[in-house]
Amino acid sequence: MGVRNLLIQMGSERFSAVLHEDRAPKTCNSIIERLPINGKIIHARWSGEAMWLPLANQPINLDYENQTCYPSKGELLFYPGFVSEKELLIPYGSSRFASRSGVLAGNHFATISEGLDRLAKVGKSVLWEGAKDISIRVS
């Protein structure tokens, strides 16, 4: 099987992300099984330059794998919801994944590979203008 990618539409911008099925296979499989995922991204309150998609209504039950607290720009994290609610974090700049309870670790399952140069534009738009539609599917 070759490398699979996600197509992510945020507002009017499209991005491609490489899935890390070798490093986070359970997370990737669980996300892929639920595609397409549609919702609204909002700006993170505790995590710095990042957006997040609440996933509380998704029946995804996972443990940690390939987890990090300090994602780089474009590194998508899935948080399984142990201390805070389930979510997908999309950092567009300097980020430390956190909630009101403190620092969190999320499963790094994909990285934006196309459109990374436009990601900060979307993040700043979400910060200053509010929530944007998001759609995630296999490309």
Q: Where are any strands of DSSP class E within 81-124?
A: 87-95, 98-99, 102-103, 106-114
5-10 vs 48-54, strand pairing mode: unpaired
Query: Which domains are delineated in the chain?
Result: 5-138 (2.40.100.20)
Say which residues have a Cβ less than 8 Å from residue 124's Cβ, sequence separation at least 6: 92
Q: Do 83 and 46 meet the contact criterion of CB atoms below 8 Å apart?
A: no
User: What's residue 139's pLDDT?
Assistant: 86
SS3 16: strand
Q: What digits encode the pLDDT tens for the residues 72-113? A: 999 999 999 888 889 999 999 999 999 998 999 999 999 999
The amino acid occupying position 55 is L
User: What's residue 2's pLDDT?
Assistant: 66
Q: Which of 22, 33, 36, 43 is nearest to 111 (CA)?
A: 22
